[in-house]
């Protein structure tokens, strides 16, 4: 497994590969090709930033049977996808800012897929060839607007509504990983990625039909059951397998 991320050092932003406690600084985004600069920085001396910069941020809904049941929905027979604004991305340790405090706003932990090669009309059998790696994501959702507007783009795209990271991992088998969310230390969501109705390969293939996916694009693969409301002061910790957790605060 190789580990990549986005980092800040003073006023400088860069991508790098994490090796133990050091960062190998890259000359370009890792999803465009891994080119090192020769510069090595201590991980402790930099700020972990948003690890991706997608042209498209695609979300998948109703991909776990238990979540379909808790939302009182019915399976559609195909993946349900919509677009989230890339401006909603939030780094590890960033603060989720509830856009409308009077609305119910829920957490949703998800496995996120980072595309590594231009993909269009790819088959399910070849879909994983177009995946660079995986990370942890959240799909923060304003339920009041979701119900009243009957579409998901705006209610899930407010600033800070897509925490992601802290790192991206390549050379990973994501077929059966533990996925967990804790709110103030209490487990609220827990499942395995093997419980997804549509696998990563099926989702990538479906999303690529007549729609070009570019390197760096991100697909959130859906959330398991246990979603619930956020409150000011909450500490949210999202984990997948033994990867470092994604932690965020709420205000």
pLDDT tens digits along 49-107: 999 999 999 999 999 999 999 998 888 899 999 999 999 999 999 999 999 999 999 99
Instruction: Report the chain's mean pLDDT, rounded to a whole number.
Output: 97
Residue 169: CB partners within 8 Å, gap ≥ 6?
1, 2, 3, 4, 133, 134, 135, 243
All CATH 2.30.30.370 domain ranges in the chain, comma separated: 2-49
Q: What is the CATH number of domain 57-250?
A: 3.90.850.10
The confidence band for 4, taking pLDDT boundaries of 50, 70 and 90, is very high
State the pLDDT at residue 245. 98
Is pLDDT above 90 for 241?
yes
Is pLDDT above 90 for 150?
no
Is pLDDT above 90 for 156?
yes
Task: Give the burial class of 154: count Cβ atoms within 10 A of its Cβ; 0-12 exposed, 13-18 middle, 19 or more buried.
Answer: middle
Task: Give the burial class of 2: count Cβ atoms within 10 A of its Cβ; 0-12 exposed, 13-18 middle, 19 or more buried.
Answer: middle
The confidence band for 109, taking pLDDT boundaries of 50, 70 and 90, is very high
State the pLDDT at residue 76. 87
State the pLDDT at residue 173. 96
Is pLDDT above 90 for 16?
yes
State the pLDDT at residue 151. 87
Q: Nearest CA to 48 among 88, 101, 94, 11?
A: 94
Cite the DSSP H helix spans in the chain.
65-70, 143-149, 200-207
> How far apart, in whole angstroms, are the C-alpha atoms of residue 167 and residue 30?
12
The confidence band for 25, taking pLDDT boundaries of 50, 70 and 90, is very high
> How far apart, in whole angstroms, are the C-alpha atoms of residue 213 and residue 120?
6
Tokens of 87: 């401006």
Residue 120: CB partners within 8 Å, gap ≥ 6?
208, 210, 211, 212, 213
Residue 77: CB partners within 8 Å, gap ≥ 6?
none
Q: Dump pLDDT digits (tens) for 178-234.
A: 999 999 999 999 999 999 999 999 999 999 999 999 999 999 999 999 999 999 999
Tokens of 239: 């984990």
The whole-number average pLDDT for the span 154-174 is 98
* Residue 121 · residue 140 · CB < 8 Å: no
Say if domain 2-49 classifies as CATH 3.30.1330.50: no
Q: Nearest CA to 139 among 89, 95, 177?
A: 89
């Amino acid at each position: 497994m190789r580990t990549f991320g986005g980092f800040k050092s003073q006023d400088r932003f860069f991508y790098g590969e994490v090796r133990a406690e050091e960062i190998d600084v890259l000359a370009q985004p890792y999803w465009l090709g891994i080119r090192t600069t020769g510069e090595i920085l201590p991980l402790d001396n930099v700020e972990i930033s948003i690890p991706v910069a997608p042209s498209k941020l695609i979300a998948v809904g109703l991909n776990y049977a238990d979540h379909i049941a808790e939302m009182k929905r019915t399976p559609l027979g195909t993946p349900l996808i919509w677009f989230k604004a890339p401006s909603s991305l939030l780094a590890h340790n960033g603060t989720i800012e509830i856009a409308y405090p009077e609305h119910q706003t829920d957490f949703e932990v998800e496995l996120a897929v980072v595309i590594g090669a231009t993909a269009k009309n790819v088959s399910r059998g070849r879909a994983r060839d177009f995946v660079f790696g995986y990370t942890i994501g959240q799909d923060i959702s304003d339920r009041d607007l979701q119900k009243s507007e009957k579409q998901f783009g705006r209610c899930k795209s407010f600033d800070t509504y897509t925490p992601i990271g802290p790192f991206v991992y390549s050379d990973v088998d994501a077929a059966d990983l533990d996925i967990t969310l804790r709110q103030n230390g209490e487990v609220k969501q827990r499942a395995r990625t093997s419980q997804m109705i549509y696998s990563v390969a099926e989702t990538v293939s479906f999303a690529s039909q007549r729609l070009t996916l570019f390197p760096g694009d991100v697909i959130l693969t859906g959330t398991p059951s246990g979603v619930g409301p956020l409150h000011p002061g909450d500490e949210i910790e999202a984990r997948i397998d033994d990867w470092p957790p994604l932690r965020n605060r709420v205000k």
